Amino acid sequence: MRDFRKQFPFFDSSVSSIYFDNAATTQKPQCVIDAIGHANIQQSANVHRSSYQLAASVTDAYESARNDVAQLINAATAEQIFWSKGATESLNLLAHGLGELCRSEHPIWQGNEIIILTSEHHANILPWQQLVERLKPEKKLRITPLSPDYNGNYDYIKLRSAITDNTAIVAVAHVSNALGCVHPVADITKWAHQHQALCIVDGTQALAHIQVDVQALNCDAYVGSSHKMFGPTGVGFGYATHVLLDALPPYQVGGEMIEYVSFDEVRYQSYPLKFEAGTPNISGVIGMGAAARFVQQHHSMILQIEHHLHQHLLEQLAVLNTDLAVESNLITIVGAKNLERISLCSFVLTGISHYDVLRLLDRDNIALRVGHHCAMPLMQHLGIDGTIRVSLCAYNTIAEIDLFINALSTAIRY
């Protein structure tokens, strides 16, 4: 555990912080920082344009990162990976392109319904809402939200029954950023495909915490963000099947995504380059490649450490709840108890302002998130205004959890 933590300079800095906001963004290991620095200092040239030696070497590093991400998620080919600013842009690209396929009545699009889990991040809700609005009144599409029970548990039999021949898309997170539960994506994809529907997966919270295999999941598309998996901000990726990538139109147009341009004709390059108009975030992509290699190298250690940390956190919250509660539970953990979970715990405090608790914890330099976590529909469904979210990573420690529990106890009693 200590050897893993030592790779992150953040914890050697003058900031004495207990960082429990890893679902928002992760810290960066030295290897990622070095890769970004090397790209900016010694590889400062453009990609896919010039043929001189420096530019060619940068293009090689840029494309090598694509291969690193493909290996991380076990994509069949690196060409199935396209770069973006992050998962949000990747989802917008997919939704925009699928909307155009719907408009043109492409055979990939079947049905008039988009099923979305209520617990989805806004980034996997709003692009689909925009698609529906953009195609009105030409196409009569609808969004069908599928909600959990009031403890945050999903009925997947109900989801399976909800998918019909009218379903065009099922949009689902691999891991809920608000609840921490791991959805059975392989099953959901199977049910979708039985009705010729597409399964679009937001993998943002999965990549740094569980093994991802898009071929085993058999999903049609999968997206992620670099900064949620130890990489830099402002860069992410999308993955899709060859059939879908070939059918999707470009999202933006400009330099280097074309084969030929005149005022009478334009021919676009094939994927993935047709989705990558303009000069990309080169150092960010190279940094993400380093992050992908780092995750692959340490996957087993990450899983083992985070399981241990998560169990300790749950045990200590239960002990604190017993110590504090007189007649009823003061601390209520939100989310499915019967599913695999990552090292994330969302809970509510009965009769106590979460924001007041946050301010008191912040005095002790404990960084975590309070609020709706970009999952307002879920919070509305659960009848709460938000949760306290502790999102752990393998560089956190048992000692930090114990300090947090003591600080939380003090804040509650304040």
| CB-CB contact of 42 with 58 (8 Å) | no
Structure-block tokens of residue 242: 């060859």
User: Looking at the annotation, which residues are catalytic?
Assistant: 374
Encoded amino acid at 76, one letter:
A
Distance CA 91, CA 237 (A): 10
The CA-atom distances, in angstroms, between 17 and each of 13, 31, 252 are 9, 22, 41
Distance CA 300, CA 121 (A): 27
